[in-house]
Amino acid sequence: MSDSRLSEGRAHAVMAGEGRPHAVMAGEGRPSTTSPCVLQQDVDGRPSPAMTGERRSSAMTRGLDPITVEVIGSALSSIVEEMGEALIRASYSTNIKERRDCSTALFDLHGNTLCQAEHIPMHLGSFLELIPHIMRRHQLEEMRPGDVFVGNDAYEGGGTHLPDIVLAEPVFVAGQIIAWAVNLAHHADFADRGHAHIYQEGLRIPPIRLYRAGELQQDVMSLILLNCQVPRERLSDFRAQMAANRLGVQRLQSLCAKYGRDTVLAAGDALQDYAERKMRAGIAAIPDGTFRFTDRYDCPEIDGELELSCAIEVRGDEMHLQFDAPPQRRAGLNMTDTALLSTVYHSIKTLVDPTILPNSGLARPLHVTAPAGSVVNCVHPAAVNGRLSLCQRVVDLIFGALAPAMPERVIAAGNGACFSITFAGQQPHDNALWVYLETIGGGSGARATKDGLDGVHIHMTNTSNLPVEALEVEYPLTLLRYELVEGSGGAGKHRGGMGLRRVYRAEHECHVRIDGSRLLSPPWGLFGGQPGGRADIVVHGDTARLHHGRVTLRAGEIVEVITAGAGGYGAQDQAPDQSATGVQPANRNHG
């Protein structure tokens, strides 16, 4: 396999070449804030930009004072957070209204992230290339206020898996598009399906109009709902997504009315420049060198383990990350290029400086390569439904590699998964189809100064659990146990966090699919800290048999999910030796 350069300092997702809309504001002559792009072939022949030359920033020439920039930046953050709350409060499904499995963001005209709400880092992957895909399919000058685009496809829509459906609405000011309001909701549907390739995983939606000038395209909505198992939930959640975007559009228009369009746009540029400066300063504080790490990945869909590795080169104020991984699998574990990039951006931000603004500027000093057609950079038609657990292992690779260079900031390995369990069946009282998705937390890695957290979501995922009362009212399931797993946190000067045990009893026949990781290899400890406990899946029943993460439960049968704990930090009763790599178990290596 040949390496594919995913990001050469990529700070935005503007597609160059045929069909690219002009990047200058109509009627104002506002210069583009994006750098010139040279085309290169991405993993499946799609053009992707590589940053070259010097970035032309209008923000630096407008003389904006830092107080105005800060005020506008805070306003942008408030807008996306308010969009998120509107989406959650207006939604119908338990996955969004209770578990908050959604994200919101604002993008500039070109597809640069202006601001993303502090919801779920993984969802950035579904945002990164959405606007370029829209612009490639639809002419900018033909768009009208009230147009709304919908998409989810991993190869033709910029998504990372099909349940994450994105709605994007252009923001018009004085008759011109200046930005995009975007949100994503995880629609807990497309259940009880195969994952050999993406065609088995659900309905693929390229970026198409769902609303045209404010009018719902009923034929498009009908087509989507016909392919969903719980259409009533989907329709109500779509309406909540629409409400969230409309709110974002109105709030941004009001901000422009208050400060002026050019001032708001220039502040957006300045905020991206600021994020870039902070990222470069943070990288420059890391010792130059090349740092390597190897880890293993397992999941119920496959037999055995996959070996993954990365080499991180720090040179001045830039960082190059080179990943190596086996070829993509005929299973739902594969990651798209945008899934890999969002994982890298989140991981480096958390280590270098968590206060860096969540916009496109932070990506400019980062350069990412990975083998095209591998599990971490898959190509069509690879299945991608369960990509999140593999993303968690990529975080482990990055943290493990940088541990010798940043011992005070890197934490030991956490539970290393997003353990998910999906139930699908028919309601006993009316035979209506139901689908219930739950993602379960685990241990968080011990830190240089304190123990790891118990029973939490970590890294790329950040959803809430569903309260027991809501679960048992909505679905024919009973939760028998929900508890921390004693002893699952790795020992050390600071203990790793404990995993969770969640035990379900089916009250009516249902089909179950379970995805996760760290079933075979435990989360590693750092600097003498011990590994955390492994995950496990146990089925209790006369006929139920688990096969590659799937099982059919009859009434009264039980499934028990145990998530992994986390590694400890430092040898017990002594300070951690930061001059040693000290990763436990011994098969991990740095270079």
Whole-angstrom distance, CA of residue 91 vs CA of residue 69:
33
pLDDT above 90 as % of the chain: 79
Supply the pLDDT for residue 123. Answer: 82
Whole-angstrom distance, CA of residue 297 vs CA of residue 392:
10
Query: Using 50, 70 and 90 to split pLDDT, how confident is the model at 7?
Result: low
Supply the pLDDT for residue 332. Answer: 95
Whole-angstrom distance, CA of residue 222 vs CA of residue 47:
32
Q: What is the CA radius of gyration of the chain?
A: 23
Query: Using 50, 70 and 90 to split pLDDT, how confident is the model at 587?
Result: very low
Supply the pLDDT for residue 542. Answer: 81
Supply the pLDDT for residue 21. Answer: 27
Helices (H) and strands (E) in the chain, counts: 10, 22
Query: Using 50, 70 and 90 to split pLDDT, how confident is the model at 582?
Result: low
Q: Is the pLDDT of residue 46 over 70?
A: no
Q: Are 43 and 372 in contact (CB under 8 A)?
A: yes
Q: What's 417's DSSP letter? A: S
Bridge partners (DSSP) listed for residue 306: 297
For residue 426, give both structure tokens. Answer: 């028919």
For residue 345, give both structure tokens. Answer: 């951006």
Annotate 299-314 with DSSP letters as a single string: -TTSSS-EEEEEEEEE
Coil vs helix vs strand at 341: helix
Annotate 170-236 with DSSP letters as a single string: EEEETTEEEEEEEEEEE---S-S---SSGGGSS----SEEEEETTEE-HHHHHHHHHT-SSHHHHHH
Vertex 234, ends 229 and 236: CA angle to 5°? 145
The lowest-confidence range among 5-9, 114-118, 447-451 is 5-9
| Mean of per-residue pLDDT scores for the chain | 87
In 3D space, the residue among 201, 389, 397, 385 whose CA is nearest the CA of residue 298 turns out to be: 389
Whole-angstrom distance, CA of residue 531 vs CA of residue 265:
49
The lowest-confidence range among 23-32, 215-224, 478-487 is 23-32
Supply the pLDDT for residue 381. Answer: 97
Torsions phi, psi for 245 (to 5 deg): -65, -40
Coil vs helix vs strand at 337: helix
Calculate the dihedral angle through the C-alpha atoms of 201, 206, 207, 208, rounding to the nearest 10 degrees.
Answer: -110
> Where are the extended beta strands (E) located within 444-519?
477-484, 500-506, 510-515
Whole-angstrom distance, CA of residue 551 vs CA of residue 539:
8
Q: Are 489 and 495 in contact (CB under 8 A)?
A: yes
Cis-peptide, bond into residue 585, ω within 30° of zero: yes
Supply the pLDDT for residue 61. Answer: 38
Whole-angstrom distance, CA of residue 457 vs CA of residue 462:
5
Q: Give the total residue count for the chain.
A: 591
Whole-angstrom distance, CA of residue 591 vs CA of residue 6:
24
The lowest-confidence range among 28-32, 71-75, 312-316, 460-464 is 28-32
> Which tens digit of pLDDT belongs to each residue from 366-380?
999 999 999 999 999
Supply the pLDDT for residue 23. Answer: 27
Mean pLDDT of 14-39: 28
User: What's the gap between Cα 466 and its chain centre?
Assistant: 20
> Whole-prediction pTM value?
0.88
The lowest-confidence range among 81-85, 86-90, 540-544 is 540-544
Q: Is the pLDDT of residue 45 over 50?
A: no
Q: Spell out the domains of the chain, with CATH numbers in brackets.
A: 65-277 (3.30.450), 410-591 (no CATH)
Q: How many CB atoms lie within 10 A of CB 418?
A: 28
Q: 453 or 27: which carries more pLDDT confidence?
A: 453
Coil vs helix vs strand at 41: strand
Coil vs helix vs strand at 123: helix
Q: How many CB atoms lie within 10 A of CB 24?
A: 12
Supply the pLDDT for residue 341. Answer: 95
Q: Is the pLDDT of residue 51 over 80?
A: no
Mean pLDDT of 398-406: 98
Helix (H) or strand (E) holding 536: strand 536-540
